[in-house]
Amino acid sequence: MKIIQINAENTADSIKQFKEQIGGDITQKWGEYTLNLDNDFAKGCIRLMTFDWGVSLIEYNLVFLQDTTIVSDPSNFNPLHFTYSLNGSFQHKFSNQKEYTTIAQFHSFIGTCDSDVSHHFNFPEGIHIELNTIRIVRKQFLNKRINIAHMLNKKLHDVFVDKEHEEKFAYYGPISLKMADRVKALQDIKTKGMIRLLKAEGELYHLLSMHIEFYNKYDNANVLEIALQKSELKIIKRLGKKIVKTPSDNYSLDELSKKTGLSQAKLQEGFKFLFARTVTEYIRHVRLEKARDLMNNSNLNISQIVYSIGFTSRSYFSKIFKNKYNITPNEFKKQIVVLIEDES
């Protein structure tokens, strides 16, 4: 068992303490630090980015080659952690607890210590870990004029305003595949320098808001109960993407059930969980969004658009389009024509 002790006074110094204990090489540019590891302890990298107002991002993309526990001592630095597990799983407990809690793939963790305990994060040997952690230093963050305090329910608000770190807090969230998309969007930023930092900060705050919204909806007293397995949710997520790519296909609940091997009840439950819509509502939503896009960016007339996205009745299309956007397709098309003429 490898024990890594972290007691740095800030996130940037913590990566140096990692290097001192498990080796590797650190590169640094534009406030972004990367610890590259390829030794007997671990293979992969730890990356961190620092931003204004006490916010930082630390990402783990590595394999520990032996069971490893990271002990984070809050005596010098006690940020509020918002962690999401994109790949693999890990365990967490406070130093005064006996049992660990497992944070599985696609699950989240929000937590902070009081002044008398420390975090223990346990990582099993040989498991590829991809973790995304947003760290917030509350004293600095609360000085930010534009903040997210209005989004917080009472319990999380109390954690944010606990500047003296008098209370420990831990929340273990249910599965969320939507957060995976945001984490991947953050990872896929290809620009460099200041533009990269600005884009990353935007994605980071988007992800932070998702953590908070998810917590507000499913806190420990009301954890989401879902009968679907992660593998089944992945199937439904892929199906949702296919519908976006080919909205004109003739979809039926019975046919989708046969193709995916999932019952109709599971399909409905999964679509409600991932997309907040039934299967039929989701298909209709995607088709209407596609129709609006075609009106904006093509020369097709209304009838051509209706049939190109899988509808068979123009009158039905006009009815549901107006219900969704509070304007008829013809009126929407005329507005676009007027805008084009004005610009020319």
Which domain, by its residues, includes 79? 2-222
Residue 24 shares a structural domain with residue 161: yes
Give which of 30, 67, 34 is closest to 199, Cα–Cα: 30
Q: Is the pLDDT of residue 115 over 80?
A: no
- Rounded average pLDDT over 37-43: 95
- Indicate if 20 and 99 belong to the same structural domain: yes
pLDDT attached to residue 8: 84
Distance CA 321, CA 314 (A): 10
Note whether 259 and 206 are same-domain residues. no
**Least confident segment among 1-15, 72-86, 109-123, 215-229:** 215-229
Average pLDDT over residues 29-58: 90
pLDDT at 344: 46
- Whether residues 61 and 210 share a domain: the answer is yes
pLDDT reported for residue 158: 75
Which of 192, 222, 252 is the last residue before a domain boundary? 222
Give the per-residue pLDDT at 340: 45
Residue 212 shares a structural domain with residue 253: no
Is the domain of 249 the same as that of 330? yes
**How many domains does the chain contain in total?**
2
pLDDT at position 53: 76
| Residue 47, pLDDT above cutoff 80 | yes
Percent of the chain whose predicted confidence (pLDDT) is above 90: 40
What length does the chain have?
344
What is the value of pTM for the model shown?
0.68
pLDDT tops 90 at residue 13: no
pLDDT given for residue 144 in this prediction: 61
213 and 234 assigned to the same domain: no
Predicted confidence (pLDDT) per residue in 194-242, tens digit: 778 878 888 888 898 889 888 887 764 444 455 677 788 889 989 999 9
Q: Are residues 113 and 211 in the same domain?
A: yes
Instruction: Identify whether residues 12 and 107 lie together within a single domain.
Output: yes
Q: Are residues 213 and 248 in the same domain?
A: no
Q: Is the dihedral of CA 137, 138, 140, 144 positive or negative?
A: positive
The highest-confidence range among 134-143, 272-281, 287-296, by mean pLDDT, is: 287-296
Q: Using alpha carbons, list the distances in angstroms from residue 20 to 25, 62, 238, 274, 322.
A: 10, 17, 42, 42, 63
Residues 179 and 41 in one domain: yes
Express each pLDDT in 237-253 by its tens digit.
899 999 999 999 989 88
Domain boundary among 189, 222, 255: 222
340 Cβ contact list (under 8 Å, min separation 6): none
CATH number at residue 336: 1.10.10.60
Indicate the SS3 state at residue 121.
strand
Taking the C-alpha atoms of residue 236 and residue 269, their distance in angstroms, rounded to an integer, is 10
| Arithmetic mean of pLDDT over the chain | 85
Specify whether 74 is located in the same domain as 179: yes
3-state secondary structure of 340: helix
> How confident is the model at residue 91, as a pLDDT?
96
Domain end marker among 191, 222, 253: 222
Query: Average pLDDT in the 179-183 region?
Result: 88
- Classify strands 90-94 and 68-72 as parallel, antiparallel or unpaired: unpaired
Helix ranges, the chain (H): 11-22, 138-141, 154-160, 178-187, 193-217, 230-245, 253-260, 264-275, 279-297, 302-308, 314-325, 329-343
Residue closest to 55 by CA, chosen among 231, 254, 204, 238 = 204
User: What's the pLDDT score for residue 343?
Assistant: 46
The domain spanning residue 73 has which CATH number? 2.60.120.10
| Confidence at residue 163, expressed as pLDDT on a 0 to 100 scale | 59
Q: List pLDDT tens digits, range 156-172.
A: 777 777 656 667 889 99
Q: What is the share, in percent, of the chain residues with pLDDT greater than 70?
A: 89
Return the pLDDT at 162: 65
Rounded Cα distance between 34 and 15, Å, is 8
